[in-house]
Amino acid sequence: MFGCFRRIGCLVVLCVAAVAAYLMRDRWLPYLPWPKSTPRATTAAGGPKWEAVSDDGAARARRAVESLGKRSGPVFVSVGPGDLASYFYMALAQQLPPSADSIEATTIGNRMYVRAVIALDDFKAADALGPLSGIVGRHERLQMGGTFAIVRSGLAQFLVEDVRLGELPIPRGGIPKLLRQIRRGSMPPGVAENGLPFVVPTYVGDARVADGKITLYKTTPK
C-alpha cells in the first residue's frame, strides 16, 4: 500500500513539474540550440509577425502622419503596427511600467497588439489575476490588444480589449483595474475605463486596423 502511495506521489510531482515547465517555457526555450529569429521581427509558426519598436519605424510613421496635414496630401495613410507603435511610443511610454523592455507590435484581425517585458514590482499587475497571481514570475511579458478611437480633436485612445500577463489571460472585467495601476496622472474627460489616451495631430480623424495595417484618416471638413 505504501509503495502505491509513493508511486502516486511521484506521479503528482511529475505532473506539477510538467505544468510548471510549460508555464515557464519562455524562460528555458531560448536556451535550446534552435535557430534564432532576427531582431527586426519574430514570427511563431503560423502566428503573427511581431515588429520591434525602432527609431526608423517612428520616422516612417511620422512622415506618413504628417502627410495628412498637407493641403494636397492624401485623405488616408496606412502604416505597419511596429511603425505606429514606435511613433506613439513616447506618448504611451508614460503610461507603461518604467521597466518595459523589448517592445513589439503586430495586428491580429481588427486589433493591434503591443507586448513588452515588465517587472511586476513596478505595479500590482498580478492583483488582476486574483488567486492565479502566485504562479507568475517577477518579470513577465505583458501583452495588450485593442482598437483605436478618436476621443476628440487632438486626443485619441487605445481601447484595450485583450490582455495577457505571461501565459495567463486577464479576465475582461479585470482589464480596467490593471490599466488603473498602469496609468499615471489624471485621465482626460471622455476616455473609456479600458482606454489608454495619447495625443494625435488635430487633422487625424479616425484610425482602423485591418489586413496587417493601421489606416489613419484625415479629418473630414464640416
Q: Do β-strands 101-108 and 139-152 pair in parallel, antiparallel, or remain unpaired?
A: unpaired
Q: How far is CA 199 from each of CA 27, 66, 211, rounded to the nearest angstrom?
A: 36, 14, 25
Residue 41, pLDDT above cutoff 50: no
Tell me which residue range forms the domain holding 25: 1-31
Is residue 185, in this structure, part of any structural domain at all?
A: yes
**Same domain as 113, residue 62:** yes
Q: How far is CA 6 from the centre of its chain?
A: 45
Is residue 37, in this structure, part of any structural domain at all?
A: no
**Same domain as 72, residue 1:** no
**Same domain as 161, residue 51:** yes
Taking alpha carbons only, the member of 113, 111, 129, 117 closest to residue 178 is 129
**Same domain as 194, residue 155:** yes
Residue 62 has a pLDDT of 92
Residue 60, pLDDT above cutoff 90: yes
**Same domain as 25, residue 61:** no
Q: Calculate the average pLDDT of the chain.
A: 74
Count of structural domains, the chain: 2
**Same domain as 155, residue 194:** yes
Q: What percent of the chain has pLDDT over 90?
A: 32
**Same domain as 49, residue 27:** no
**Same domain as 199, residue 106:** yes
pTM of the model: 0.70
